[in-house]
Amino acid sequence: MNPPSIPTLSSVIRHGLKIARNPVALARELAVFHTFYKVMRLHEFDEEAYLDQNPDVAAAIRAGQEASARGHYIRFGCAEGRSPTRKVDPRVPYRVASRRRRRSQERSAILAEIAARAGREHLYPLLLDIAAGTGDRILKLNRRVVRTAKADPLVTRFNYDARRPEISVIICLYGHPQFLSLQLALFSTGCRLAPVEFIFLNNSAEHGEFLLRDAKQAARLYEIPVTLINVNENIGLAAGNNLAARHATSSRLVFMHPDVFPRDHNWLAKHNEFSATADGRIFGACLYYDDGSVMHAGMYLERETIRYETSKCMDLLRIRHYAKGVPDCVPDAAKTRVVPAITGAFISIEREHFESLKGFDENFVLAGYEDFDLCLRSAAAGQRVWYCANVRLMHLEAQGGARGPDARGASYVNQWLFSRKWLPSLANKCGPLWSRVEQTR
Amino acid sequence: MRVLLVSLFHPAISPGGAQQACYNLFKGLQKAKYEPILLASVERHMWPALFKSGATITEFDKHENEFLFLSQGYDHTFHRNKDPRNLDEFEDFLRVIRPNVIHFHCFVTFGLEYFATARRYLDKNGGRLIFTLHDFLAICQAEAQMVRTFDKTLCEYASSFRCHQCFPDHPPEHFSIRAMWVKHHLDYVDTFVSPSEFLRQRYIDWGISPERIVVIPNGHESPTGGTDLSTAPPRRPRNRFAFFGRLIENKGLLVLFDAIKLLRNRGLDFTVDIFGANLKHEATEQFRNAFNAFIKQEQRSTSHRTPMVRFNGAYEMVDLQRLMREIDWVVVPSTWWEIFGMVVSEAFLYGKPVICSKIGGLAERVRDNVDGLHFVVRSSRSLAEIMERAMSEDGLWEHLCCNIVPPPTAEGVARKHLEVYHGVSTLAGAGHEVHTIRALISRVNAIAIWQFR
């Protein structure tokens, strides 16, 4: 038998060109190569990491539907593109990291420019520019930043035991990592009575190291199961919350801001009481400032007309809060009722409902308006949003996250996006009296 | 019973009232045949050579049952330790020495989380967690002084806005969080000990329930030479004053200096001896300059006769007997809330009446016209008047001397602590049982009420 002849360079190029011209052949070649590559990596298979990164597989194994993690990987995971090893940052090729970084910097620069313009000129031309194309450009850029960063999170769990959490509290950290310990300590007193897990998503990559150490210590010290998810870029609240929700292990999600703290020791009992009712599929709490006045008792929309040079005008939607800054005895704060929306600082939602709504709309850049959007979609899907006056917490508004010029710029883009999405259908549903015609409890 | 005493620094490393009180208790417990174990912190800048690489808790200079905690990574904003390794080592240390009582005398240099760790250990193994309050650190961010940062006036109470006035860079919310965070960790404590009723009241006003705090004064080490000044003092004008203490601004030396100037203008004959140290390390530059200028001027203007004011440098406990023999009055012109005033104990130990500012722990311990004299805090004119009265009024000194009650000894104080350690104190409050689930839940409820109010 003749030894196989070594192909010449020209024959390889000819073969390559022939395949490249034929898309079907190209796809087949790539699929074969992909499978080969995956099998090559099988020796690196890390069962613990695989289960950490794929909670659905872990659940399937617990339920007895799947025999082993390795088996799942060979039969499905490999083809579905799941990673056989723990995903950590150094594995990301430098090329990808630098491209991601560049996009993220570009996003920040455009947003900061918007914030700067808003400070020195009239809003109308700025909003016109956003509507004319800047907005869509940022959305596209943001989608790509979010997609790359989300594909590569580092998920670490601490202090989980045999008990299955009943509630998953989800918090996105940005800029102030110390809030992780502060919240765990202050929530631990009330959370001893029922198993509650805390899922922190860290949007500031530079604090990842510190948070890994801190979460480990705090989880053990305050006896709370904690999941920490580190991403490489600031993916904002909507995408961050969605990503964290995927790693929740309970059927009830509570989205919180880092500067929310318990005010009553029995907030959890009251919460559980309301979430067990038919109206409790999605609801918000009464939030207070630290001076005792009301910070949040539901939100509504107001139609805002921006006028420019006598003849030009533009309509936008603006979010307003009921009873902000007043004592909690006013009816708006004291009454449990249906409201147009509740703040993202505290949203309690049934996981199934959250998933049926496909989570927060990740088009919203960084933070703002995604909470109202979720509530409107819930109402549109037939599940009205409740404000529960008995569940009381403290929200030290604007303390929990760093707020740079990019965040200020993002609020204009989000307002434009939100208005574009909802103004046509909501134009006559604005104003604080909206809730008066709705049902109260 | 094995008692772990957790102290801020070792008195042999850095002298100070709180660490001395803790060390005296350590000695007192030893005499009472208990098994005290001391864990005293040290910071790297003090003695870098003590920091053995990779270690957190080490023995100290062959002192039996005395250990050093090498404090690293301490965060002064929220009073926590950012190095989790330290906490692990502390937990291991607890498991090795197996204390029945863990008695903190500070949390600074350790971290508030150490209360949580201690509680976790005690919940598993039984025992009590005690915390002696020596300062306002839990309440006040301004170096625990409760003196306002912008105009140095005395602060009566802390609130988010008042603290924000002292630290405009921190929003009021920061102080709300700080208070909640500190209170959360203090909730792990079974019983608080306060050396004075004044400090106890401040913490009650801040939110700790009265039944959780007991008052036990700091104990005094028995001097080796006894307290008898042997020779009966001759009858002569009682015009010899002395100041003992650290040479820092809030000990009120500048008030004393102004009073001396006023008295000299009236042509009175008296002497003032100043004993103290720490001028170089602890005092502000402004104070140091004012102090040096006054002493220099004093030496110049009185060079032809005996100087009225003498600066004698640092003193040790063993020197006190000799020094006290020479003087009549101890002046304590502090301009801040003295919590306990160890110097009052030192004066009373040798039967010397005290002239002090009418403030905080001083006003509580020194009874006006009974065993000392009060003057209006920060008022040099008031101090001058009182000093003039002290040296001129016939029989006053003898009258006050008769009423002086000896300060509590280390052994007496240790005995009082034993009641708290056993949880059977007849003093108000120390009534927490060893934790059962029911006790835990009722504690959770009780806590929440004060924590969130």
Q: What is the DSSP track for A114-131?
A: HHHHHHHS-HHHHHHHII
Question: DSSP letter string over B139-187?
Answer: T-TTTT--B-TTT-PBP----HHHHHHH-TTS-HHHHHHHHHHHHHHHT
| pTM for the predicted model, two decimal places | 0.81
Reduced to 3 states (helix: H, G, I; strand: E, B; else coil), residue A153 is coil
* pLDDT value for A38: 66
Contact A299, A287 (CB under 8 A): no
Are A399 and B187 in contact (CB < 8 Å)?
no
Any B CB within 8 A of A182 CB: yes
Q: Measured between alpha carbons, how far is A122 from B359 in angstroms, rounded to an integer?
A: 59
Name which of A217, A263, A265 is nearest B87 (Cβ-Cβ). A217
DSSP secondary-structure letter at A134?
A: I
Cβ atoms of residues A275 and A283 within 8 Å: yes
Among A345, A292, A301, which residue's Cα sits nearest to residue A319? A301
Q: Please check whether residue A353 is in contact with residue A275, taking contact to mean a CB–CB distance below 8 angstroms.
A: no
Closest by CA position to A434, among listed A338, A349, A369, A324: A338
Question: Across the interface, which of A186, A223, A263 has its CB nearest the CB of B181?
Answer: A186
User: CB contacts < 8 Å between A and B, how many?
Assistant: 70
Q: CB distance from A210 to chain B under 8 Å?
A: yes
Q: What is the mean pLDDT of residues A415-441?
A: 72
Q: What is the mean pLDDT of residues B145-172?
A: 93
pLDDT beyond 80 at A86:
no
Q: Are B75 and B39 in contact (CB under 8 A)?
A: no
Q: Of B107-111, B228-232, B368-372, which range is least confident?
A: B228-232
d(CA A296, CA B402): 65
Nearest CA to B205 out of B140, B111, B250, B151 is that of B140
Please give the average per-residue pLDDT across A210-236, as a whole number: 93
Decide if A290 touches B, using CB distance below 8 A. Answer: yes
Asked if residue A320 has pLDDT above 50, the reply is: yes
What does the block give as tokens for A310?
Answer: 């006598």
Q: pLDDT category, A359, cuts 50, 70, 90?
A: very high
Q: Is the pLDDT of residue A440 over 80?
A: no
pLDDT digits (tens, 9 = 90+) for B286-317: 999 999 999 888 877 765 566 688 888 888 87
Ordered alpha helix ranges (H), A121-264: 123-129, 135-150, 179-191, 208-221, 236-246
Q: How many Å apart are CA A142 and CA A438, to the nearest integer?
A: 37
> Percent helix, strand, coil in chain A (nearest 5)?
50, 20, 30
Does residue B51 contact residue B75 with C-beta atoms inside 8 Å? no
**Residue B21 and residue B39 in contact, taking contact as beta carbons nearer than 8 Å:** no
Closest by CA to B192, choosing from B214, B210, B216, is B214
Give the number of other CB atoms < 10 A from CB of residue A66. Answer: 17
Nearest Cα neighbor of B107 from B77, B129, B73, B137 is B137
Mean predicted confidence (pLDDT) in B399-421: 89
Amino acid, res. A267: W
pLDDT-based confidence at residue A95 (cuts at 50, 70, 90) = low
**pLDDT tens digits, residue range B90-109?**
999 999 999 999 999 999 99
Q: Which residues contact B273 (CB under 8 A, 6 or more apart)?
A: B240, B241, B242, B243, B309, B310, B312, B323, B326, B327
Beta carbons of B82 and A263 less than 8 Å apart:
no
Residues of B with Cβ-Cβ distance to A290 under 8 angstroms: 160, 172-173, 176
- Residue A144 tokens, joined: 């790509």
Are A265 and B452 within 8 A, CB to CB?
A: yes
Single-letter code of the amino acid located at A293: S
Residues in CB range of A37: below 8 A, 6 or more apart: none
Tens digit of pLDDT for each residue in B115-138? 999 999 999 988 999 999 999 999
Per-residue pLDDT tens for A231-260? 999 999 999 999 999 999 999 999 999 999
Decide if A217 touches B, using CB distance below 8 A.
yes
Count the Cβ atoms, other than its own, within 10 Å of residue B14: 17
Distance from A298 to chain B by nearest Cα, in Å?
Answer: 22
Would you call A210 and B82 a contact, using CB atoms and an 8 Å cutoff? yes
d(CA B187, CA B199) in angstroms, rounded, equals 18
Kindly give, in sequence order, each residue whose CB lies less than 8 Å from that of residue A69, ignoring residues fewer than 6 positions away.
Answer: A47, A50, A51, A57, A61
- Work out the minimum CA distance from A219 to partner chain B, whole angstroms: 12
Q: Which two tokens stand for residue A36?
A: 């080969």
Q: Which member of B113, B173, B444 has the closest CB to residue A265?
A: B444
Indicate whether B398 pLDDT > 70.
Answer: yes
Tally: H helices and E strands in chain A: 17, 13
A118 contact partners, CB below 8 Å, separation of at least 6? A126, A408, A409, A412
Amino acid identity, residue A38? K
List A294's β-bridge partners, or say none: A288
The chain-wide mean pLDDT, for chain A, equals 87
| Chain A residues with beta carbon closer than 8 angstroms to that of B90 | none
Q: How many CB atoms lie within 10 A of CB A380?
A: 11
Residues of A in contact with B82 (CB under 8 A): 210, 213-214
pLDDT of residue B427: 44
Q: Tell me which residues of chain B have a C-beta less than 8 Å from any C-beta of chain A.
A: 77-78, 80, 82, 84, 87, 113, 116-117, 120, 160, 171-174, 176-177, 180-181, 184-185, 187, 444-445, 447-449, 451-452
Distance, in angstroms, between A223 CA and closest chain B CA? Answer: 10
Q: Name the percent of chain B lying above pLDDT 90.
A: 50
> What separation in angstroms does the CA of A130 have from each of A114, A126, A136, A416?
9, 6, 8, 8
Q: Which pair of structure tokens corresponds to residue B411?
A: 């052994």
Cα–Cα distance, B437 to A265 (Å, whole number): 17
Q: B181 vs A214: CB contact, 8 Å cut-off? A: no
Mean pLDDT for A143-170 is 91
Q: Which residues contact B233 (CB under 8 A, 6 or more apart)?
A: B328
**B contacts of A261 (beta carbons < 8 Å):** 177, 180
Residues of A in contact with B113 (CB under 8 A): 217, 221
Tell me what pLDDT residue B428 has.
39
Q: What's the start-to-end Cα distance of chain A, in Å?
A: 88
- Of the two residues B19 and B222, the one the predictor is more confident about is B19
Q: Is A109 on the interface with B (CB under 8 A)?
A: no
B24 CB contacts (<8 Å, ≥6 apart)? B218, B219, B220, B221, B410, B413
Q: State whether residue B319 is helix, strand or coil.
A: helix
3-state secondary structure of A302: strand
Tracing tokens 């009566």 back to the chain, one arrives at B156
Q: What is the pLDDT of residues B305-363, one digit of tens each?
A: 666 888 888 888 788 888 888 899 999 999 999 998 889 998 998 999 999 999 999 99
Contact by Cβ (8 Å): A361, A376 = no
Chain B interface disruption, residue of A264, A265, A392, most B CBs within 10 A: A265
Position A239, amino acid: A
Work out the minimum CA distance from B437 to partner chain A, whole angstroms: 11
Structural contact between residues A386 and A321, judged by C-beta atoms closer than 8 angstroms = no
For β-strands A346-350 and A282-288, DSSP reports them as antiparallel
Query: Model confidence over B33-53: pLDDT tens digits?
Result: 888 999 999 988 888 888 888
Whether A178 has its CB under 8 Å from any CB of chain B: the answer is yes
Which helix (H) or strand (E) is A296 found in, with range?
strand A294-296
Q: Quote the Cα angle for A244-A249-A252, to 5°.
A: 85
If pLDDT is split at 50, 70 and 90, which confidence band does A88 have?
low
Q: Which of A190, A213, A290 sits opposite B84 (nearest CB)?
A: A213
Contact B452, A268 (CB under 8 A): no
Which pLDDT score is estimated for B224?
Answer: 66
Secondary element (H or E) of residue A253? strand A252-256
